[in-house]
A and B are shown apart, each in its own frame.
Chain A
Amino acid sequence: MKSRLKCLLAVMRVNFAARMAYRGDFFISLAIMLTGDMLLPLVTLLVYRTGASFPGWELHEAILIQAVFTLAKGVAFPFFFGIIWTTLDRVREGTFDLMLIKPRSPLFISMINGLDIDDFGRLASGGVLFGYALAVMPEKPDAPAWLQFALLFACALVVLFAVSLLLSGLLFKWVGSSRVYDMFDALTMFGQYPGTLFSKGFLNLLLYVLPIAMLGFLPASALLGRLDGSAWLSALVCVALAVLSWGYWHGMLKQYTSAGG
């Protein structure tokens, strides 16, 4: 664990130094990410401004769901989501072989190679939005609510990790397709809205098959005191999904035929 942490810090240090060569662009990128992540809450605000609303949800509640989603992405993107880019780029270039001969697991090496300093902007924007959403909550959450939130937020990260493994695994065969990012954005959009907006059957799909609802809706519901038992069953599905995706990724890695075929 200690050596892995050292690897991570070393990569972060090198990436940061490299990025500072274009520091102006780096800081602009951070600011843009901050602004970009505010986009969906802005759209929500504009809808509520007209007098409309998501039925049964106050503006601050809707914003909190989107803030939790942004925060989850803010943690996932800098630390492990880069595995998708590493696989996409290196399989296409034919240099993924280098990942296999390093003295750590290919998954770990892929992960730290994909570490992008720019993505810490997402973490910052997630933190800012989450802080704002908490500040405007009329009733602050109590300790049990925070505990539930922490557990469900960890599940949200597990889902994002599982999705990153699924998409990364796909790229061993679907070489060089950046459309996986579009697929991710499209599928996870459901997690940014209250689950009650969807039909019952569709919500079950988002809870128990591909638990996208865990990315924002369920952890935010814990803070709002609106959680029901379905969340914990969904949490189990998250763990199962992570195990499955882990197996899938390694299965796809075995099918990787390398640059020389």
Chain B
Amino acid sequence: MRDEFRPAAENNRVAQAHGRTAGNPASEVPGTSAGLETAAGLEPSAGPGAAGAAAKNPEPDAHGTAAVGKAEALRRAAAAARRHLEAARAIALATYKEWAAYRSHMAATILIGPVYFLVQYFIWNAIYAERDTLNGFSLDRMLAYYGVMSVITYLTFDFADWNLQMLIRTGRYVTFVLRPVSHRFYALSQKIGHRTLGFFFEFLPVFLIFLFVFRIDLMPASFGWALLSVLLGFLMTFLVNYCIGLTAFWLTNAAGVRRMFLLVRDLTAGVFLPLTFFPEAVQKVLFVLPFQFMQYVPVRVWLGEYELAGISLTVPQIVGLQALAVLVMWGVSEGLARLGMRRFTGVGV
């Protein structure tokens, strides 16, 4: 959660550098926790609790002061985390309600998803008419791969890149510079709301169609690991897309670059074909790219096995690697956001 304070504090610094204090008196005292918390839209949490503690121990010794300070810091962190969770919940709920007004658009997936799958169904049935296995996949496993890929896409789908590029290009990003939470936190909360709706209107119906109409075995090999991997895939998709969106700080109209990224992303995330169909040398490159962690890894974890570039990993190993990749991507997005803010020239900034 502390990460989310940084851009707000950074935004505050930018505002101060331009002779403004964002209308926030507390921001005039940067570096203090009160200033930081207020800049993040959160009331200084040292209030009654801290005062009460001080009253009970008017003259604590050095050890006691340290202990109280540590407890106080923990309490503040917990309070800040709680407030961020409340903010995330509010943003997600608002997004959910906003998109629920267009639920028929989302429900179109009930037609589109199975039609896409039907194409794959016919093609792979025809191909497997002449063989039992292909690249280690039996027909059932291949259809399960595409089925799981489809439904996982409904859980991880994201367009943070488009939103962010639009905000930066039009200058509307400036309104987020002054908000008490970072835009990344806001966008992630929006995605949670959007995909919650997607869960009900896309994932569930299509899952049931695949299960009962196409008779595809979509049950995860291990529910816990599959859930964890999908959650990490959810974050990874968001972070990769967010980084693509951040390129707008350098490129005024980045639609073309965005398309290129999306193309590479989908191809190298295994959306069109399992990555093991690529030549060995390409697979080695794909192994070190972040894109496999968006969809390919969650799908393989769902199916209970992982292999790429001749490397076979157990499910816990690959999920651990996925978690590490998410952390790295989080750092990359943070670095890019900070660098980008230096270039941002929205109206009045």
Which residues from chain A sit less than 8 Å from chain B, CB to CB? 22, 24-29, 31-33, 35-36, 39, 42-43, 46-47, 49-50, 52-55, 174, 176-179, 182-183, 186-187, 189-190, 193, 196-199, 202
Contact = CB atoms under 8 A, between A and B. Distances in A.
Contacts of A50: 134-135, 277
B123 interface: yes
A49 to B, nearest CB: 8
Most chain B CB neighbours (cut-off 10 Å) among A32, A36, A174, A190: A32
A180 to B, nearest CB: 8
18 contacts: A25-B253, A32-B256, A35-B260, A36-B259, A50-B135, A50-B277, A52-B134, A53-B130, A174-B104, A177-B108, A182-B108, A183-B108, A186-B112, A186-B119, A187-B115, A189-B119, A197-B123, A202-B122
Interface in B95-110: 102, 104-105, 108-109
A31 B260 CA distance: 9
Given A25-B255, A182-B108, A35 B263 contact: yes
A177 B105 contact: yes
A186 B116 contact: yes
Contacts of B256: 24-29, 31-32
Contacts of B123: 54, 193, 197
Interface in B107-130: 108-109, 111-112, 115-116, 119, 122-123, 126-127, 129-130
Summarize A's interface: helix, strand, loop or mixed.
Answer: helix
Most chain A CB inside 10 Å of its own CB: which residue of B252, B255, B279: B255
Interface in B263-304: 263, 267, 272-273, 277-279
Contact of B112 (A46, A54, A179, A197): A179
B328 interface: no
Given A39-B267, A55-B129, A55-B130, A29 B259 contact: yes
Given A32-B256, A183-B112, A199-B122, A46 B105 contact: no
Given A33-B259, A49-B277, 5 more contacts: A25-B254, A35-B263, A52-B127, A177-B102, A199-B122
B131 interface: yes
B252 A22 contact: yes
Nearest to B266: A39
Contacts of A199: 122
B291 to A, nearest CB: 15
Contacts of B126: 54-55, 196-197
Closest 3 pairs between A and B when the two form their complex, measured CB to CB: A28-B256, A179-B108, A29-B256
Contacts of A42: 267
Contacts, number: 97
Nearest to A29: B256
Contacts of A197: 122-123, 126
B219 interface: no
B134 A186 contact: no
B257 interface: yes
A117 to B, nearest CB: 13
Contacts of A198: 122
Contact of A43 (B252, B255, B273): B273
Contacts of B130: 52-53, 55
A32 B119 contact: no
A146 to B, nearest CB: 29
Contact of B263 (A39, A43, A54, A187): A39
B266 to A, nearest CB: 8
A46 B119 CA distance: 17
Contacts of A202: 122
Nearest to B252: A22
Contact of B111 (A25, A178, A183): A183
Given A28-B260, A182-B108, A46 B115 contact: no
B171 to A, nearest CB: 16
Nearest to B278: A46
A174 B111 CA distance: 15
A16 to B, nearest CB: 16
B57 to A, nearest CB: 62
A135 B206 CA distance: 42
B323 to A, nearest CB: 30
Nearest to A42: B267
B9 to A, nearest CB: 33
A140 to B, nearest CB: 28
Contacts of B111: 183, 186
Contacts of A189: 115-116, 119
Contacts of A35: 260, 263
